[in-house]
Amino acid sequence: MDRCRENVCKKTVCPLAPIYKRKNITFIQAKVVSFHPEGDSEIRKGFVTIEYVTGNKAGSQEKIDYDYLINGTGPRLDFEATEGLMPGTNKTVSVCSFDHAEHAWKELKALIERMKKGENVKIAIGTGHALATCQGAAFEYILNVEQELRKHKVRDKAEITWLSNEIEIGDFGMDGMMFKVGGKAMSAKDLGEMLFEDRGIKWIIRSGIYKVEDGKAHYENLDGEKKMINFDFAMLIPKFSGHGFKSYDKQGNENTEKLFKAFMIVDADYTAKPYEEWKAQDWPETYQNPSYPNIFAAGIAFHPPHSISKPQTSVNGTKIFPAPPRTGMPSAIIGKIVSDNIVHMIETGKSDIIERGAMSNMGAACVASSGYGNITGSAVTMMIEPIVPDFDKYPKYGRKLNPASMGLSGHWIKKILHHMFIYKAKMKPGWSLIPE
């Protein structure tokens, strides 16, 4: 391990086993293979089958019993859904994991060195699938890459393009947002376009990538046109998918449809209906599986009732729109709701729910980095409330018109939050006082 990697690891990566040991939590590093919510006997009433992936037990399986189960797996990064998108191939990178981000930084540094030697390059950043989500992460990344090029005085050597499945910049899978900036209403679309125009970033939206070749991304837009963009470096967020888990009843018959619709089924209204008939009340409040009330799902692990942004279909019939985001602050809040309810059930022996919280009445603070630097950095600080729009309660915008700001102070807020969350993740003294 070189000194740079070691320093980054100390700041962002920590071993889990010692942390859980301090809290008397048994930690098993393995992957779930199947769910058995009814058990297989009167003695074993609920268990999951796991498979060890490291150590002496690698490849072996084991049954883990439970009284309550929380599915907090997050998504499967479905790079395979887009031909040729796998990180490290075809001049593409990812920032979806520590290893991915480390590789991306190495590739970007190598690209900068080429630019310093006089080479002109093309950079593409955005979404790598017609139904991808997590546009916010890509949005932060493109602004930070642009600033990094300016820092190295090679910005004039790069053509940077934002490529997204959004209906407009700033949609973010949330049907857009409105803020109060300087006392006036401003849309996320206007804010995003202003940032891109100010930094000379081009954009292609309403488009879904379906194939990546060496330095080429093939995409289809809503007009049904199939086009291609060249690049020397690309970071394209993959589609998020469920993990493909299987579930079985007591007799060993598959009953996956009771637990999963790609992601885990919870207390949402999954009735198929036109976009105009979707309601904020469709969204879950307890994150409890209706068939097995001792099973819960938090964050991206739960299946959303529908998208938040209006579904769009190209003239060829291809669906091109963002999936609903469920990461960050909402995931943490949902996790706390679920854990509080389980604690209540254990302590009282009752099955009633004491904590509820739908994303349609839940707010979230967001600090989106628009460039790293203790003096030159900046970030957009905003509050979205509620996350899922409720036009019955807020007829004009579907949400409260909360303030937003951008500048160096936002960068410092994000940096402070970073250290607070790492501190909390390590469960150091007072960690529980740090809010979600």
CATH of the domain at 302: 3.50.50.60
Instruction: Domain of residue 25: give its range.
Output: 3-76+243-311+330-348
373 occurs within a structural domain: no
User: Percent of the chain at pLDDT above 70?
Assistant: 98
User: Residues 6 or more apart from 409 whose CB is under 8 A from it?
Assistant: 381
Q: Tell me: pLDDT of 397 over 80.
A: yes
Q: What is the pLDDT of residue 10?
A: 65
Quick one: tokens of 259?
């637990």
Q: What is the pLDDT of residue 4?
A: 47
56 occurs within a structural domain: yes
The pLDDT tens digits for 102-126 are: 999 999 999 999 999 999 999 999 9
60 occurs within a structural domain: yes
Place of tokens 């469709």: 282
pTM of this structure: 0.94
Q: What confidence tier does 7 reach under pLDDT thresholds 50, 70, 90?
A: low
416 occurs within a structural domain: no
Average pLDDT, integer, range 359-381? 93
Q: Contact 122/161 with Cβ under 8 angstroms?
A: yes
15 occurs within a structural domain: yes
Q: What confidence tier does 436 reach under pLDDT thresholds 50, 70, 90?
A: confident
Count of domains for the chain: 1
106 occurs within a structural domain: no
- Average pLDDT over the chain reads 94
182 occurs within a structural domain: no
Distance, CA of 369 to CA of 143 (rounded, Å) = 8
Q: What confidence tier does 9 reach under pLDDT thresholds 50, 70, 90?
A: low
52 occurs within a structural domain: yes
Pick from 344, 353, 351, 382: nearest CA to 284: 353
3-state secondary structure of 48: strand
Q: Which range among 16-30, 308-322, 366-380 has the greatest average pLDDT?
A: 308-322
Distance, CA of 160 to CA of 89 (rounded, Å) = 20
User: Percent of the chain at pLDDT above 90?
Assistant: 89
The pLDDT tens digits for 192-201 are: 999 999 999 9
User: Residues 6 or more apart from 284 whose CB is under 8 A from it?
Assistant: 266, 267, 268, 302, 305, 358
